[in-house]
Amino acid sequence: MPMHSPLQQLTPFLLVLVMLNVPDTAWPKNGFDLSNSIIDPSEILSGGPAKDGIPAIDKPKFLPGKAASFLNPEDRILGIEINGTAKAYPIRILNWHEIVNDRIGNNYFSVTYCPLCGTGVAFSSQVNNQQLNFGVSGLLYNSDVLLYDRSTQSLWSQIMGQAISGPLVGQKLTPLAISHTTWRAWLAEHPGTSVLSTDTGFRRNYNRDPYAGYAKSRSLYFATSRTAPSSYHPKEQVLGLQDGNSYKAYPFSELNRLGKSSFKDKLNGTEYLVKWDDQNQSGNIFRGDGSMVPTIQSYWFAWFTFHPETQVFKAANR
């Protein structure tokens, strides 16, 4: 059998890449064009499912809070309130869908959740006077979900809140303030709340956690570009605050050690009021005028990976 040169042994597709001197990482993944990506395409990984393999909820149905018998008091939810209207989005549903495209009045927004990073973030759907609708790309960057908008097929990093490729590359989303707390706490504060129904249009077992055990494990399913300091468990929950280009993490273990229900703290010269609920393991941060600041509750590894320059709140320094 005649010997073949290395080039002759390549598949036709790879041969074209070599001849053009184009790395295969520059080619589409899950059908998305990464040619103008502001992130190295080699760091954009497939999470396994295809585009829309994890289906976003585009036509959410809601129940009155007191009729949500499928929820337990300690179940975690993401809660949002706009103009006096409160809605709750159970994590047990978000684990299976990751995005809910919704509205309150004329305020259109998307509630997003990444089970791998423990991050729940709500964004306004309005970008440059254009109303966007988001889906799950099936791709990850630093273990965090990459959203895509159906109008332009641009990819968006959830934690960065920014388009990382496509026609809208570089554009940023406007985060909205949400609470990541228990159903018990949210219902007590918002007795008139509605709650996302399990009647999603999809057949899923919302009583089963597809990520059972992940939060307690030190292992990650996907590689990240940085390794967080071992001063905290990789899945330690932190409340993340951003002020301009300054960042601060409030680890739950530090907040529990402090034991106060509220205290003032500063970041980037601005004073904030931090409110901590140790019973429900949830916190929110407020400006001086009483308005709630959009924050990100996440696992320590995720917050540090995206914000390695972050300051870290220490109870011992209070």
Residues 190 and 51 in one domain: yes
Residues 185 and 53 in one domain: yes
Q: Is the pLDDT of residue 59 over 60?
A: yes
Domain finish residue from 141, 172, 196: 196
Which residues have a Cβ under 8 Å from the Cβ of 228 and sit 6 or more positions away?
Answer: 234, 300, 301, 303, 304, 305
The helix (H) or strand (E) run that includes residue 95 is helix 91-97
Q: Is residue 241 part of a domain?
A: yes
Residues 162 and 252 in one domain: no
Domain finish residue from 139, 170, 196: 196
Domain finish residue from 134, 167, 196: 196
Q: Is residue 150 part of a domain?
A: yes
- Encode pLDDT of 272-285 as tens digits: 999 999 999 999 99
Q: Is residue 26 part of a domain?
A: no
Q: How many helices (H) and strands (E) does the chain have?
A: 5, 23
Residues 111 and 181 in one domain: yes
What's the gap between Cα 311 and its chain centre?
A: 20
Which 3-state string (H, E, C) describes 7-76?
Answer: CCCCCHHHHHHHHHCCCHHHCCECCECCCCCCCCHHHEEECCCCCCCCCCECCCCEEEHHHCCCCCCCCE
Q: Is residue 206 part of a domain?
A: no
Phi, psi of 307 (to 5 degrees): -135, 70
- Encode pLDDT of 108-136 as tens digits: 999 999 999 999 999 999 999 899 999 99
Residues 281 and 169 in one domain: no
Q: Is the pLDDT of residue 221 over 60?
A: yes
Average pLDDT in the chain: 92
* Structural domains in the chain (count): 2
Q: Is residue 222 part of a domain?
A: no
Q: How many CA atoms lie within 13 A of 16 on its CB side?
A: 4
Q: Is residue 205 part of a domain?
A: no
Q: Give me the domain span that covers residue 186.
A: 46-196
Q: What pLDDT sits at residue 316? A: 87
Q: 110 pairs with which residues across the strands?
A: 101, 123
Q: Is residue 1 part of a domain?
A: no
Residues 185 and 310 in one domain: no
Q: Is the pLDDT of residue 12 over 80?
A: no
Residues 53 and 157 in one domain: yes
Q: Residue 65: name the closest of 55, 75, 56 by CA.
A: 75
